[in-house]
C-alpha cells in the first residue's frame, strides 16, 4: 500500500473510532456544554474526540502537522497537514439532535490541495470518503452529484455564521435571493455533511460563508471527487483557508454563483 493510501485508510479508521466516542456521549447525562461565543457551543465530547484523534495522528505520523478545531495544533516540516473537526454539528449534538459528524481532511503542502477526506455520520453509520483523483465513496460505493439543472426543483443547503447577531455579513442577503428561486433550502447544521450530501446527490447544492478549514477540508474534496464544482463565491477553485464555499453540479453552480454575487 502506498503512503497516500495508508493515510486514507488510517483516516477512515480514526473517523469510525471517533464516531463511537460521539455516540457514547450523545444524549448522555455526563454531557457538559460551554460556550466559545454567544451561540457557539463546545462540549466535553468535542474535546474527548479531539484528544483521541490528535493522540492517534501524532503517534502514527509524528512528522505530520495537525490543525484541530478545539485547539490542538502542531507544525511539522513534513508534507501533510491534518485538518480535524472532532465533532461537526455541535449545536445539534448539544440539543440531542441526531445530525453531526467527524471530519478529517489531509492537505498536501507540496501539491497545495486536500488529498484525502473522510466524514463519518455515526448516527446513520455513513462513512463518506475521497482521495484526490480516486473518486468519492459512501461506505465503499462510488457516489455522484445530482444531475439537476433546474433551480426550481433543487434542494439546496446552507448555514449561518456564529457571529450572525453582531455582523450584517450573516448570509441573510444571499439566503433571501436564493430561497425564492429554489425548491427549498435546508439548514441541517453540519457543514461537512452538507458537502457530503451534495456529493451523494441528496442536496443539489450547498453554500456557506465564514466556515473554517476543519469544517470543509474533507467535504470539499468529497464533493469535488463526486463530480461537483466547488468554488469560492467569485467562482475560483475552493481554498480551505478562504472561508466561503459553493458546491453544486456544474449547471446549478453557474446559476447560484450569479445569485450569490448579485447586489
Residue 104 burial (10 A CB sphere; 0-12, 13-18, 19+): buried
CB of 2 to ligand IPD, least distance (A): 31
CB of 206 to ligand IPD, least distance (A): 10
Instruction: Report the distance separating Cα 31 and Cα 26, nearest Å.
Output: 8
Which entry of ligand IPD, Ca ion, none binds 70, CB below 5 to 8 A by partner kind?
Answer: none
Sheet holding 136-138, edge to edge: 73-74, 65-68, 80-88, 101-108, 113-121, 126-131, 136-138, 141-142
Burial pattern 186-209, b for ≥16 Cβ within 10 A else e, equals eebbbbbbbbbbbbbbbbbbbbbb
**Least CB distance to ligand IPD at residue 98 (A):** 14
228 binds, among ligand IPD, Ca ion, none (CB under 5 to 8 A by kind): none
Which residues form the interface with ligand IPD (CB under 6 A)? Answer: 85, 88-91, 159, 161, 189-191, 208, 211, 215
- Please choose which of Ca ion, ligand IPD, none residue 129 contacts, taking the beta carbon within 5 to 8 angstroms, the exact cut-off set by kind: none
- Of 87 and 185, CB closest to Ca ion: 87
Which of 90, 174 has the CB closer to ligand IPD? 90
Question: Interface residues with Ca ion (CB under 5 A)?
Answer: 69, 85, 87-88, 215
189 binds, among Ca ion, ligand IPD, none (CB under 5 to 8 A by kind): ligand IPD
Q: How far apart are CA 259 and CA 256, in angstroms?
A: 5
Amino acid at each position: 500500500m502506498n503512503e497516500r493510501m495508508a493515510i486514507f485508510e488510517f483516516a477512515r479508521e480514526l473517523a469510525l473510532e471517533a464516531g463511537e466516542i460521539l455516540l457514547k456521549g450523545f444524549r448522555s447525562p455526563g454531557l457538559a456544554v460551554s460556550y466559545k461565543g454567544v451561540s457557539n457551543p463546545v462540549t466535553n465530547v468535542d474535546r474527548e474526540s479531539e484528544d483521541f484523534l490528535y493522540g492517534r495522528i501524532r503517534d502514527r505520523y509524528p512528522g505530520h502537522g495537525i490543525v484541530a478545531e478545539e485547539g490542538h495544533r502542531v507544525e511539522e516540516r513534513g508534507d501533510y497537514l491534518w485538518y480535524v473537526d472532532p465533532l461537526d454539528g455541535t449545536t445539534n449534538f448539544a440539543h440531542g439532535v441526531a445530525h453531526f459528524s467527524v471530519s478529517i481532511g489531509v492537505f498536501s503542502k507540496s501539491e497545495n490541495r486536500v488529498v484525502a477526506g473522510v466524514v463519518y455520520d455515526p448516527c446513520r453509520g455513513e462513512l463518506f470518503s475521497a482521495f484526490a483523483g480516486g473518486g468519492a465513496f459512501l461506505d465503499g460505493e462510488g457516489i455522484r452529484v445530482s444531475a439537476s439543472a433546474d433551480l426550481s426543483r433543487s434542494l439546496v443547503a446552507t448555514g449561518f455564521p456564529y457571529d450572525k447577531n453582531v455582523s450584517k455579513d450573516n448570509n441573510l442577503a444571499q439566503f433571501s435571493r436564493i430561497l425564492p428561486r429554489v425548491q427549498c433550502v435546508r439548514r441541517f447544521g453540519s457543514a461537512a455533511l452538507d458537502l457530503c450530501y451534495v456529493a451523494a446527490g441528496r442536496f443539489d447544492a450547498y453554500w456557506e460563508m465564514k466556515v473554517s478549514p476543519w469544517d470543509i477540508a474533507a467535504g470539499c474534496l468529497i464533493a469535488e471527487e463526486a463530480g461537483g464544482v466547488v468554488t469560492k463565491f467569485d467562482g475560483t477553485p475552493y481554498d480551505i483557508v478562504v472561508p466561503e464555499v459553493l458546491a453544486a453540479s456544474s449547471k446549478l453552480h453557474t446559476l447560484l454563483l450569479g445569485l450569490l454575487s448579485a447586489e
